Amino acid sequence: MPIVAPSLLAADFLKLDAECKMLNESEADWFHLDVMDGRFVPNISFGPMIIEFVRKTTRKVCDVHLMILEPEKYAEQFKNAGADILTVHIEACHHLHRNLQQIKSLGMKAGVALNPHTPVAELSDILHDIDLVCLMSVNPGFGGQKFIPYTLEKIKQLRKMIDEKGLNVHVEIDGGVTVENAGSIIAAGADVLVAGNTVFKSADPKATIAKLKAL
Ligand code: DX5
Ligand code: ZN
């Protein structure tokens, strides 16, 4: 069974309390929280304050995806806001090893996200220090984009690399995940599905989450 992590980016922020309640009652495993700075990506979303509010509504895992430059400046703030997993972009880190040590020393799980153009081979010397790899299946910055098919190839390569090294690393897919394509994403070797629009814009979000869980 995959881990299902709905992305709150697609939620109705005027009804955030109700949206969190819905997720709590659903089979969703994690809350995926997308932080954008308008510099690393061409969009601005929300920061630690919103995560602090969300944290108060749930005991589920808060999976925080930082699409920001200089993530080391904010890691502690996100820990204090309640993040369980903190994911940084490899393209935003000059000293990725140091970033991961910082995240882990603060008591969080450490994730690394890769943009569609970044080869998974870039992780070969650091994979044993990572708890989660987030493969972007769209260019980060916006919800509701179309899944880039080549991602399936990258999932297979990454899964092979993880298995060959005998590691236990989550493979998370983020962007354009639908009930229709999720089966092939899991078959390729992913175990965490992020889904924004697919969940929140569906007629019955809880039922959609159950469908993703049943894959
Ligand atoms: C994109 C974000 C995603 C986004 C996914 O930059 O990282 O988490 O919310 O949204 P959907 O599932 O609608 O593509
Ligand atoms: Zn995300």
Render pLDDT for 69-114 as a digit per residue (tens, 0 to 9). Answer: 999 999 999 999 999 999 999 999 999 999 999 999 999 999 999 9
Q: Span 144-150, mean pLDDT?
A: 98
> For 110-141, what is each residue's pLDDT tens digit?
999 999 999 999 999 999 999 999 999 999 99
Q: Residue whose CA is closest, atom 10 of ligand 1?
A: 143
Instruction: Please state, as a whole number, how many other Cβ atoms lie within 10 Å of the Cβ of residue 194.
Output: 28
- pLDDT for the residue 155: 99
- Cα(191) to ligand 1 centroid in Å equals 17
Query: Inter-axis angle of helices 205-213 and 16-25, to 10 degrees?
Result: 40
Nearest-CA neighbor of 18 among 3, 8, 29? 8
Half-sphere exposure of 181 (CA within 13 A, CB side): 19
Enter the pTM of the model.
Answer: 0.98
Strand 132-136's sheet: what is its strand order?
A: 3-6, 192-195, 170-174, 132-136, 109-114, 85-89, 61-67, 30-36
C-alpha–C-alpha distance, residues 144 and 159, integer Å: 26
Alpha helices in the chain (DSSP H): 16-25, 48-57, 75-81, 96-105, 151-164, 182-188, 197-200, 205-213
Ligand number, closest to the Cα atom of 7: 1
Contact present, 34 and 60 (Cβ < 8 Å): no
Q: In angstroms, what is the span from residue 174 Cα to ligand 2's centroid?
A: 6
| Contact 7 CB / ligand 1 (< 6 Å) | yes
Residues with a catalytic annotation lie at 34, 174
Q: What is the pLDDT of residues 24-69, one digit of tens each?
A: 999 999 999 999 999 999 999 999 999 999 999 999 999 999 999 9
Burial of 118 (0-12, 13-18, 19+ CB in 10 A): middle
